[in-house]
Amino acid sequence: MTPDAPLQEGYDEASIRTLLGGGPSTRVLVIAAHPDDETIGMGGLLKYLANVAFVHITDGAARNMRAARARGFRTREGYADARRSELQKALSRMRAAPIELLDLGTPDLDASYNLVTSSVALAGIMKRLAPAVVFTHPYEGGHPDHDSAAFSTRAALALIESAGMAEPRLMEFTSYHADGEKLAASRFLPGAPEGLGIALTGEEKDFKAEMYACYGTQKGALKHFPIGVERFRPAPVYDFTRPPHPGRLFYQNFDWGLKGAKWCRLAARAMDGLGVLQGNLAGGGLLGRLISVFSR
């Protein structure tokens, strides 16, 4: 893959091999923050894959109930159930049923406060399923749950590495981030290598549009995510102790009580916690190893 690769028209065997290191039956684990992020990021690619497990960090329903009430739900659980059903319906369009469909049950907007728990849970899932490739979100300040998915996925990789297991290939799909005052979708933060970009064919767009249509409660939000382009890249190195970009992060446009600096403090605290845990698992001196995984 070269930086800023031009868009290729549709998925073919070569592009699938580039992304997976193998054919469509390669074991893939998709780690997404919310039900629908998998479709936004890689709905077109999902048309072709036949051996995929999904883990959603959150159940898509926030404790503040704002989105739930606006959609006519009286309980958080009711809204979470509706989102789970939409996800199942969307994924039922795939050629093979997902091998597993898990969620960690964290409320929407709470992933940042559960980084250690999520990381340990993801490591357990990775050990059990032994995926060859993991897809997740980039670290880009679009949504704190997305950034938390980026963090916890890497922390889980560090944990399985310390247990002596082979690490899967880590890839990223696009989510969204700030572009000045606006939202940028279908692309990574400016300046980052874009990896492989696909302009979906008519058939691929139809497939992805059908998946979008399953997400009735997210209709308003999904309007902001055009379906025509999907981009992927091998996961880059991040420093989770610094915000992903200078200036205002996209999620700071919302009254969620979380700023980039606070998120970074939560991440630093989780790294400490995971370092201790890893030390218990496999002997001393492992905090350094965990950090070396994070910064390599």
Binding site for Zn ion (CB under 5 A): 33-34, 37
Cβ at position 214, least distance to Zn ion in Å = 16
Cβ-based nearer residue to Zn ion, 19 or 109: 109
Q: What is the 3-state secondary structure (H, E, C) of the chain?
A: CCCCCCCEECCCHHHHHHHHCCCCCCCEEEEECCCCHHHHHHHHHHCCCCCEEEEEEEEEEECCCHHHHHCCCCCHHHHHHHHHHHHHHHHCCCCCCCCEEEEEEEEECCHHHCHHHHHHHHHHHHHHHCCCEEEECCCCCCCHHHHHHHHHHHHHHHHHHHCCCCCCEEEEECCEEEECCEEEECCCCCCCCCCEEEECCHHHHHHHHHHHHHCHHHHHHHCCCCCCEEEEEECCCCCCCCCCCCCCCHHHHCCCCCCHHHHHHHHHHHHHHHHHHHHHHHCCCHHHHHHHHHCC
CB of 164 vs Zn ion, minimal distance in Å: 33
Q: CB nearer to Zn ion: give 108 or 194.
A: 108
Give min distance, CB of 147 to Zn ion, in A: 11
- For residue 286, the minimal CB distance to Zn ion (Å) is 31
Q: Toward Zn ion, which CB reaches closer, 90 or 160?
A: 90
Shortest CB 111 distance to Zn ion, Å: 10
State how far the alpha carbon of 31 is from the alpha carbons of 82, 148, 201, 262, in Å: 20, 11, 25, 23
Considering beta carbons, is residue 37 or 172 the nearer one to Zn ion? 37
Q: Of the two residues 185 and 199, which places its CB atom closer to Zn ion in the complex?
A: 185
Chain residue whose CB lies nearest Zn ion: 34
> Rounded to the nearest whole angstrom, what is the least distance from the CB of residue 235 to Zn ion in the complex?
17
C-beta closer to Zn ion: residue 212 or 274:
212
Least distance from C-beta 34 to Zn ion, angstroms? 4
Closer to Zn ion by CB, 37 or 59: give it.
37
